[in-house]
A = this chain, B = another copy of it.
Amino acid sequence: MRRLSLTLLAAGLLAGGIASAATTIPAAAVTTAEQLRDRAMHDDTAYRIVSSLTTEVGPRLAGSEADLRARQWALAKFKALGFDKVYTEPVTFPLWQRRSESGAIVAPFPQPLVLTALGYSPGTPAGGLTAQVVKFAGLDALKAAAPASVKGKIVYVDYQMHRQKDGHDYGMGSAVRTAGAVIAAAKGAAGYLLRSAGTDVHQRIAHTGVTGFRDPRARAIPAAALSNPDADQLDRVLAYGKPVTVRMNLDCGIVGEYTGANVIGEITGRKHPDQVVAIGGHLDSWDPGTGAIDDGAGIAITMAAAKLIRDLPQRPDRTIRVIAFANEEMGLWGSRAYAEKHAGEVGKFVLGTDSDFGAGRIWRMSASVQPSARAAIGQIAKVLAPLGVAYDATRPGGGGSDLSRMHAKGMAALTLTQDGTHYFDWHHTANDTLDKIDPQDLAQNVAVYAAWVYMAAQADGDFGSAPGAFAGDGAGE
């Protein structure tokens, strides 16, 4: 993937040398972007937005009553911030509900376990599912297991994530949750448990998240995550060498279909209203927390950045579109619906990325653009450098999580990597609350977005968006 990117980069530099139509950011726009950047560092709009969302709406699981309230909140907030155009686009998805959940070691040492049901998990029978536990150290061990060894049992996968600035352990952590449950079910397991995909090793708080059971071909079984200390306890109990029986009691499941919506606010472009710089986050959250870092922060950062640009003496040349996506958590439903609907206009999406990795400072930028736009990306990088953002020209830009779907259709995209050292301490838990957000770190994110979004909106020339333009760039893989 890295080698491929270097090849692309080399090709880009070469093409840039030959072609004369290089995209550039006018000097006046660079100056304004620098002012926006500096203004954002002293602006608390984003913090007020995320405080409002997490306090007034709180948890907003996709399809819940609070999901509707969150959409009403977003519509009202876009309008209050002075966006020129505010509208919704419907998104339909399976409606999964969590009603109650508990767990316990039944034998040999009876005691409760802190666990949480995973997205799309079916419920257990009334009275719970009680079965022997069979433990695997990781996904490979589970894949290699003979079906007879897991049939009728509760499979438990004990993979421990560690803190990383770029959060890369979540690749395996989320695979254990999504694919692990599906593999265990396919082998005939009665239930599935994992050590939470989280780095808060001393907190008795379980991390929820989606399974792969969305796939209608998958056999679905009750699936839940144990908190890290509960996984430690289960490990200790298993180490006594006696058969260990666990009861999972999950009242949850898919109860039908729901139609929510992506909520969209725009600052209309003065010269090219049909050309769009696309940013955003997702409006839904998991239900145990209040969705502050995931993804109230992303909503707030992008709304606040657009608002700063809106407050300039005149509108930017291109339209700035902030998309509050529906139901990211249970499978990018809003994002996929958006990309399907707007694939035909992908050439009009000049540049985009969304914010969905918490509220830590942005420390790295990369881009997937056509070679003729590399110099303009370099101009953006120069404006962002004083914020501590390093430009890595060897990596592709994937467009974030939700806008990755538009990038896959051909939208030129950035990746703005946030410091995720503590993100997985709180991700998908009750602990995803406002106190985890540092207002200054949040403001740095706004500064980054305000600057690059404005420069992209004012650029002379484009960044290469076109149907299928970035197929195989390695981003989003």
Specify the chain B residue showing the minimal Cβ separation from A230. B433
Q: Is A390 among interface residues, defined by CB-CB distance under 8 A?
A: no
Inter-subunit contact A433/B111 (CB<8 Å): no
Q: How far is the CA of A56 from the CA of B111 in the complex (A)?
A: 9
**How many monomers of this protein are in the complex?**
2
CA distance A202 to B422 in the complex (A): 13
The complex places the Cα of A232 from the Cα of B236 at a distance, in Å, of: 36
Name A112's contact: one of B59, B203, B229 (CB within 8 Å).
B59
Contact across chains for B55 and A237 when beta carbons are under 8 A apart: yes
Name the residue on B nearest A227 (C-beta).
B430
- Does A366 lie at the interface of the complex (its beta carbon under 8 Å from any beta carbon of B)? no
How far is it, in angstroms, between the C-alpha of A385 and the C-alpha of B119 when the chains are bound? 56
Q: Is the CB of A233 within 8 A of B290?
A: yes
Q: Are B205 and A111 in contact (CB under 8 A)?
A: no
Chain B: minimal CB distance from A102 (Å): 10
Query: Are B430 and A232 in touch, CB under 8 angstroms?
Result: no
Closest to A430 in B: B204
**Complex alpha-carbon distance, A287 and B204, angstroms:** 14
B114 touches A430 (CB 8 A): yes
| Contacting pair B109 A203 (CB below 8 A) | no
B111 near A202: Cβ-Cβ < 8 Å: no
- The answer to whether A66 and B435 have CB atoms under 8 Å apart is no
Q: Does any Cβ of B come within 8 Å of A434's Cβ?
A: yes
Contact string, A288-307, partner B, CB cutoff 8 A, digits 1/0?
01100000000000000000
A58 pairs with B435, CB closer than 8 A:
no
Considering the complex, give the chain B residue whose CB is closest to the CB of A104. Answer: B58
Measured as residues with beta carbon below 8 angstroms from the partner, the interface class of chain A is 20 to 34
Q: Measured between C-beta atoms, what is the minimum distance from A285 to chain B in Å? A: 11
The residues in A between 51 and 92 inclusive whose CB is less than 8 angstroms from any CB of B are 51, 55-59, 66
B58, B109, B112, B205: the one contacting A109 at CB < 8 Å is B58
B residues less than 8 Å from A232 (CB atoms):
433-435
Judging by beta carbons under 8 Å apart, are B202 and A236 in contact? no
Q: Which residues of B contact A51 (CB under 8 A)?
A: 236
From B205, B435, B436, A205 is in contact (CB under 8 Å) with B205
A335 at the interface (CB under 8 A from B): no
Q: Does A201 contact B (CB under 8 A)?
A: yes
Q: CA–CA, A57 to B109, complex, Å?
A: 6
Assess the B435–A201 pair: CB atoms within 8 A. yes
A445 lies within 8 A of chain B by Cβ: no
Residues of B within 8 A of A114 (CB): 430
A97 part of interface (Cβ distance < 8 Å): no
Question: Which chain B residues lie closer than 8 Å to A66 at the CB level?
Answer: 110-111
State which residues 418-474 of A face B: CB under 8 Å. 429-431, 433-436
Are B435 and A111 interface neighbours, CB within 8 A? no
Q: Which A residues from 161 to 204 make CB contacts under 8 A with B?
A: 201-204
Which residues of chain B are near A429, meaning CB under 8 Å? 204
* Distance between A229 CB and nearest chain B CB, rounded to angstroms: 5
Residues of B within 8 A of A57 (CB): 109, 111
**How far is A53 from B237 in the complex, measured between Cα atoms in Å?**
12
- What are 26 A-B interface contacts by the 8 Å CB criterion? A51-B236, A55-B109, A55-B233, A55-B236, A55-B237, A57-B111, A58-B110, A58-B111, A58-B112, A58-B233, A66-B110, A66-B111, A111-B290, A114-B430, A201-B435, A202-B431, A203-B203, A203-B431, A204-B429, A204-B430, A229-B434, A229-B435, A232-B433, A233-B290, A233-B433, A233-B434
Known pairs A55-B236, A204-B430 / 16 extra A-B pairs, C-beta < 8 Å: A56-B109, A58-B109, A58-B110, A58-B233, A59-B112, A111-B290, A114-B430, A201-B435, A202-B436, A203-B203, A204-B289, A229-B433, A229-B435, A232-B433, A233-B433, A236-B434
